[in-house]
């Protein structure tokens, strides 16, 4: 299987507000950048979307290392998901899990690959995370630049 390194990040101007997601994919010395925009969203939805889009971009089963600055995403997929499903998508305090649609998509994508999750503190100079953040913010900037034309 191919070994792929991914950096995924989301950004939101206001929460909720306009948002973007960014992904850096690295494989065998090559690097690919992906990013996208959502008009009305939350930061957590953009963080999840970045991870989903990164995994969806892989055309075959891979060994994947994903780095995110979102504890929500990393803890959700590695620790909380099993309990949420067991409790019919309820949190520990019996409230509905937010973003269930995206959690289901992320789970489906992780089942296609052998994924290891890593967390880094955001905005601390980690090169891969900073680039993913720049891509997420670029998505927002480009959307508004295009709207001004």
Instruction: Give the number of domains in the chain.
Output: 1
Tokens representing residue 47 in the block: 């963080």
d(CA 24, CA 9): 9
Tell me, yes or no, if 69 is annotated catalytic.
yes
Count of alpha carbons within 13 angstroms of residue 15, beta-carbon side = 9
Contact 28, 86 (CB under 8 A): no
pLDDT band, very low/low/confident/very high, at 149 (cuts 50, 70, 90):
low
Catalytic residue among 10, 19, 20, 128: 10
Structural domain including 130 reads 2-147
pLDDT 10s digits, 94-120: 999 999 999 999 999 999 999 999 999
- Domain at 25, CATH number: 3.30.420.10
What mean pLDDT comes out for the span 29-34?
98
Tell me, yes or no, if 123 is annotated catalytic.
yes
pLDDT of residue 146: 73
Tell me, yes or no, if 9 is annotated catalytic.
yes
Catalytic residue among 47, 76, 128, 130: 47
pLDDT of residue 145: 81
pLDDT 10s digits, 72-86: 999 999 999 999 999
What mean pLDDT comes out for the span 126-137?
98
Tell me, yes or no, if 60 is annotated catalytic.
no
With tokens 């999840």, the residue in question is: 48
* Residue 138 CB partners (closer than 8 Å, separation 6+): 20, 22, 35
């Amino acid at each position: 299987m191919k070994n792929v390194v991914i950096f995924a990040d989301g950004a939101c101007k206001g929460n909720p507000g306009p948002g973007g997601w960014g992904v850096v994919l690295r494989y065998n010395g090559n690097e690919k950048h992906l990013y996208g925009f959502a008009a009305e969203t939350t930061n957590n939805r953009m963080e999840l979307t970045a991870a989903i889009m990164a995994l969806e971009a892989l055309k075959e089963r891979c060994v994947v290392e994903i780095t995110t600055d979102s504890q929500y995403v990393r803890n959700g997929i590695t620790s909380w998901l099993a309990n949420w499903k067991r409790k019919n998508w309820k949190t520990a305090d019996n409230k509905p899990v937010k973003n269930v649609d995206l959690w289901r998509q992320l789970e489906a994508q992780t089942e296609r690959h052998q994924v290891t999750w890593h967390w880094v503190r955001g905005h601390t100079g980690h090169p891969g995370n900073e680039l993913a953040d720049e891509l997420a913010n670029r998505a927002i900037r480009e959307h508004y630049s295009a709207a001004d034309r």
